[in-house]
Structure 1
Amino acid sequence: MTSASPWWSPHVHADRRPLLLKRGRIKAAVHAWFQARDFLEVECGILQVSPGNEAHLHAFATERVFPDGTRKPLYLHTSPEFAAKKLLAAGEERIYTLGPVFRNRELGPRHACEFAMLEWYRAGAPYEALMEDCAALLAEAAEAAEARLFTHRGHVCDPFLEPERVTVAEAFAKHAGIDLLATLSEDGTADRDALAEQAVATGIRIVFDDSWSDIFSRIIAEKVEPNLGQGRPTILCEYPVVEAALARPKASDPRVAERFELYGCGVELANGFGELTDPAEQRRRFVAEMDEKQRVYGDRYPLDEDFLAALAIMPEASGIALGFDRLVMLATGAPRLDLVIWTPAAE
């Protein structure tokens, strides 16, 4: 698509239409898969008092105007997570939702400011159950698209193979030669200088005001992610606690959390948690994230006090968010996300 040939041009649409029809078949297969397993489809409101409280997550702001002229700031949600967890607190046990979410400051062949997210939760289930769900859904998507392999920009992944499971520490050692756990204390706090020293030795560029998380993210992007999901899907698990704001620590090692990401063809597809249900700890983490957002971007988002209150009665659960458009992109072999979105937003 170009400025001379927008997506609605008949010849452009004719090229995209086969991919979009496959999108519809994948969507139908996903709904059937969840309904066959007694998941309840829910619809989460898009307007929220808080769009999420992660430092590098950016939202679209709006406001509600009441009949008397008073105004209340609101945001388009970046994920249905807060609303879905409130439904778990209300008593729902297996829920899923597939709908639009909105993220600002994102642009590129794998990003869109408005995209479709598939999110689901299992009350009382370990987060390993979500890993099994992911493996099954990859195969479902491939079958619906009549694809033997996932392909993306020269990379290939077999969605019918059992995903490999690799811890973040193992991936850092293998692909970057970095001892990640040596930079984390027993209580999960991170040693910025220890990680910086190792990163520089492996060729990662560091600047003076980079935080531990900045360096971690750069190593992931430059050294680790390109090697994941090659040949077969990869589940990258046991993220450091400081990189898992909504996940509970692993009982066996409090330095890391019950968080994993799913990869195919070097593309991140999903992000899953064993959910944190301690409202005091969640508040502490949110405040720390917003302090970092204020430092880096000069902005912060309010906390959703209803969400923190709901955590106090929310059952133990696991939940995950999967980028549906990215799944379709890999299943159809499309080189860009906008090719598999019916009406992509103007960039």
Structure 2
Amino acid sequence: MPQNPPFWRPGVHAGRRPYLLARGKIAAAVRAWFAENGFVEVETAALQVSPGNETHLHAFATDLIGPGNERRRLYLRTSPEFACKKLLAAGETRIFDFARVFRNRERGALHHPEFTLLEWYRAGAAYETLMDDGVALMRAAAEVVGTRAFGFRGRTADPFAEPEKITLADAFDRFAGADLLGTIAGGEGDRDRLAREAERTGVTIAADDTWGDIFSRVLAEKIEPRLGQGGRVTILYEYPLPQAALARAKPGSDKVAERFELYACGVELGNAFAELTDVAEQRTRFAHAMDEKERIHAERYPIDEDFLDALAVMPQASGIALGFDRLVMLATGAERIDQVIWTPVVES
């Protein structure tokens, strides 16, 4: 039996309805902003050969059955990224997708197994342009629902204020007293050196933690809770290369990539890249991520060869994925993601 009264109970729905109506207003405002800025809305397929090749993202699998009863394994996408980049290769230059996506093993106040990612891409644009885009869309969401501040769990952020911008290296130094870049050489992370830095800051390390595991622990325990001080939106940028699976390296650097994440009220809202277009490098990164996935989770996903073929002709571009449901939450003050989803997946 469900743990909570179902969403369709009239009393439950009445409490959720203001958030849902606000969701529609925000979606309309977002679409209007994209139209004003020359973007085309696309609708990409949910069924994919590969759901994505990130170590800690988990997909839903299904079988496509052909007319001769032949079976082919497909996956519900964790992101529309591969499909959108194929459209860039096809010649589109400014696109966005309100994409329903699916991630297994995720449920909580900010996580839902089926949710909406708002992704957009600009061919020929620097990734810093997406910083401005993200701030503009947050402001559009706030304006349409008549609020001056985002809120979540007692924290507030003013989307109209100038955002705070901080590199990962500066954040590790300021909030953890750790030398992040000193643990990276030739694009690879020195696990033992980062472990020593983390333990010195009081972060507990397990014997089998990788460099990426330790990075994530320090980020979650020491960095993220300190972001957005003073009620501002935070842009955390120049991620280390070992944490940039689909982003290109910053020119002249073998340590950091052109990647940023957008935070408000301590909540991660968006993840952006200057897109990697080196096919050989992308294949290597995918293979490494899947080796790690198999080691940690005892599963791996196929590589979409069609995507790599498209990547070979895709122009230089920048792209971002923004959690639309989370944007609605922050703009309306909702406490749980299922409050802003019309028909949430029933818990059992």
TM over 0.5: yes
Amino acid aligned to 1:313:
V
- Per the alignment, residue 246 of structure 2 pairs with 246
- Per the alignment, residue 32 of structure 1 pairs with 32
Measure the CA separation in 1 of the matches of 2:163 and 2:79. Answer: 25
Question: What secondary structure sits across from 1:330 in the alignment?
Answer: helix
| CA deviation after TM superposition for structure 1 residue 3, in Å | 3.2
- Per the alignment, residue 286 of structure 1 pairs with 286
Question: What secondary structure sits across from 1:319 in the alignment?
Answer: strand
1:302 equivalent to 2:302? Answer: yes
| CA deviation after TM superposition for structure 1 residue 254, in Å | 2.1
Measure the CA separation in 2 of the matches of 1:278 and 1:99. Answer: 26
C-alpha contact (below 8 Å) 1:135/1:162 kept by paired residues? no
| CA deviation after TM superposition for structure 1 residue 165, in Å | 0.9
- Per the alignment, residue 332 of structure 2 pairs with 332
| CA deviation after TM superposition for structure 1 residue 164, in Å | 1.2
Measure the CA separation in 1 of the matches of 2:58 and 2:145. Answer: 32
1:228 equivalent to 2:227? Answer: yes
Structure 1, residues 261-280: CA drift from partner, whole Å, max 9, x if none?
A: 00000000000000000111
Amino acid aligned to 1:90:
A
| CA deviation after TM superposition for structure 1 residue 149, in Å | 0.3
Question: What secondary structure sits across from 2:75 in the alignment?
Answer: strand
C-alpha contact (below 8 Å) 2:26/2:140 kept by paired residues? yes
Measure the CA separation in 2 of the matches of 1:346 and 1:283. Answer: 37
Measure the CA separation in 2 of the matches of 1:275 and 1:89. Answer: 12
| CA deviation after TM superposition for structure 1 residue 36, in Å | 0.7
Question: What secondary structure sits across from 1:32 in the alignment?
Answer: helix
| CA deviation after TM superposition for structure 1 residue 229, in Å | 2.7
Q: Which one is further off, 261-270 or 164-173?
A: 164-173
| CA deviation after TM superposition for structure 1 residue 107, in Å | 1.4
Structure 1, residues 235-288: CA drift from partner, whole Å, max 9, x if none?
A: 000001110000000013221000000000000000000000011100000000
| CA deviation after TM superposition for structure 1 residue 146, in Å | 1.0
Amino acid aligned to 1:270:
G
User: 1:52-201 alignment to 2 at 5 Å?
Assistant: 52-185=52-185, 187-201=186-200
Q: Normalization by structure 1: what TM-score?
A: 0.98
Measure the CA separation in 2 of the matches of 1:144 and 1:252. Answer: 42
Aligned-residue CA RMSD in angstroms?
A: 0.9
In structure 2, stretches of 5+ residues that fail to align are none
Measure the CA separation in 2 of the matches of 1:254 and 1:122. Answer: 25
Aligned length: 345
Question: What secondary structure sits across from 1:254 in the alignment?
Answer: coil
1:209 equivalent to 2:208? Answer: yes
| CA deviation after TM superposition for structure 1 residue 5, in Å | 1.7
Question: What secondary structure sits across from 1:285 in the alignment?
Answer: helix
C-alpha contact (below 8 Å) 1:229/1:267 kept by paired residues? no
C-alpha contact (below 8 Å) 2:6/2:346 kept by paired residues? no
- Percent identity at matched positions? 63
| CA deviation after TM superposition for structure 1 residue 4, in Å | 5.1
Q: After the TM superposition, which segments of 4 or more aligned residues of structure 1 sit over 2 Å from their partners? A: none
Structure 1, residues 109-154: CA drift from partner, whole Å, max 9, x if none?
A: 0000000110000000000000010110110010111111001010
Measure the CA separation in 1 of the matches of 2:263 and 2:40. Answer: 26
C-alpha contact (below 8 Å) 1:116/1:323 kept by paired residues? yes
User: 1:39-50 alignment to 2 at 5 Å?
Assistant: 39-50=39-50
In structure 1, stretches of 5+ residues that fail to align are none
C-alpha contact (below 8 Å) 2:241/2:249 kept by paired residues? yes
Question: What secondary structure sits across from 2:216 in the alignment?
Answer: helix
